[in-house]
Amino acid sequence: MGIESQWIWMDDKLVPYEQATIHFNSTALHYGLAVFEGIRSYNTANGPAIFRAREHAKRLLDSAKVLGFRPLPWTVEDLVHAFTEVVRANQFNECYIRPVIYLAEGGWNLCVDNGRLALAISAWEWKNYLGQEAMERGIRANISTFTHHHPNVMMTKAKISGNYANSALAKTESVRLGFDEAIMLDPQGYLAECTGENIFLVYKGKVLTTPTAAVLEGITRDALLTLMNDLGYEVVDQMISRDQLYIADEVFVCGTAAEVIALREIDYRTIGEGKMGPVTRSIQQAYHSAVHGEHLRSSEWLEYVNPPVA
Ligand code: PMP
């Protein structure tokens, strides 16, 4: 996977890729004291556009607040401006954007006060997170032996870098076992989310998803709720058990990196027909047209990188 680009945003300016380095003595590295976002820019008829840039900027600031970083010198507007600068400077049409707010100095006493906060933003061309085939065929997943974070152990509303050791434990185990993705249960044994995606089931004509209390409130999940409402699907959020997954007609996951992907098999049980089902397909198509500027919802969700001069 190539994660190169020409320019990276560091400390309020663009620097060449090779110069975007941080010192080894950084608690962001040692203790995971950083927060991040994953955002995508898509090609549209009006040039590259960032999907829900403001919502991602807001969640980045919220994550920083949850981790206790203060004061935060950036506003949502500053961040959206910086995201668009990075896409524009690298002349990308479609790319993944990765901003990180981290403790560049301080934090050695495990207190995040009195350090120096920094913002860096990278972008790269990342086509299919789970592979091209996954988009059409769906993927195979298992229930992880690792439990999802308890919300009073690691803050599940925040994309804190250190949280992702939990995702990496689960994902690595699943991939080594021959699966594509891990499904994580919460400490009570109910369905939580995947390592980087929220999850939905289609069962008896309804779409079910997990309550948001203890999972990351995905921005893709939120967009899909709107699109499903537009499509006339009834969506219910409720506690979901492991065996409900096995007998669902369709299961799909969603996230910025993964987009909308069907799960065709879970724990060696075929889900539905063992391929992407009609509900998942309609939602995947609606999402695809929304992100590419071809949907009625696109105008409220897209931040054009090169807005037309009035
Ligand atoms: N859950 C987790 C744990 C994630 O890391 C992500 C990816 N950010 C998601 C869900 C999906 O969130 P989004 O749709 O905002 O990318």
- Ligand 1 center from residue 242 Cα (angstroms): 20
Kindly give the distance from the C-alpha atom of residue 306 to the centroid of ligand 1, in angstroms, as a whole number: 27
Residue 48: asked if its preceding bond is cis (omega within 30°), the reply is no
Helices (H) and strands (E) in the chain, counts: 9, 17
User: Is residue 203 scored above 90 in pLDDT?
Assistant: yes
Residues 125, 128: Cα–Cα separation, whole Å: 10
Q: How far is the CA of 129 from the centre of ligand 1 (A)?
A: 13
Ligand 1 centroid to residue 77 C-alpha, Å: 22
pLDDT of residue 129: 81
Q: Cα separation of 239 and 241, whole Å?
A: 7
**Atom of ligand 1 minimally distant from the CA of 38:** 8
Q: Ligand 1: which of 216, 222, 224, 227 to mutate, most ligand atoms within 8 Å of CB?
A: 216
For ligand 1, whether the C-beta of 220 sits within 6 Å is yes
Q: Kindly report, residue by residue over 240-296, the tens digit of the pLDDT.
A: 999 999 999 999 999 999 999 999 999 999 999 999 999 999 999 999 999 999 999
CATH 3.30.470.10 fits 7-124, yes or no: yes
- The model's pTM: 0.97
Classify domain 132-291 at the CATH superfamily level: D-amino Acid Aminotransferase, subunit A, domain 2 (3.20.10.10)
* pLDDT tens per residue, range 101-145: 999 999 999 999 999 999 999 999 988 888 788 988 999 999 999
Catalytic residues: 159
DSSP string across 237-262: E----HHHHHT-SEEEEEETTTEEEE
Confirm whether 7-124 and 132-291 share one CATH topology. no
pLDDT digits (tens, 9 = 90+) for 50-106: 999 999 999 999 999 999 999 999 999 999 999 999 999 999 989 999 999 999 999
Give the ligand 1 atom nearest the CA of 221.
14
What ranges do the domains of the chain cover? 7-124, 132-291
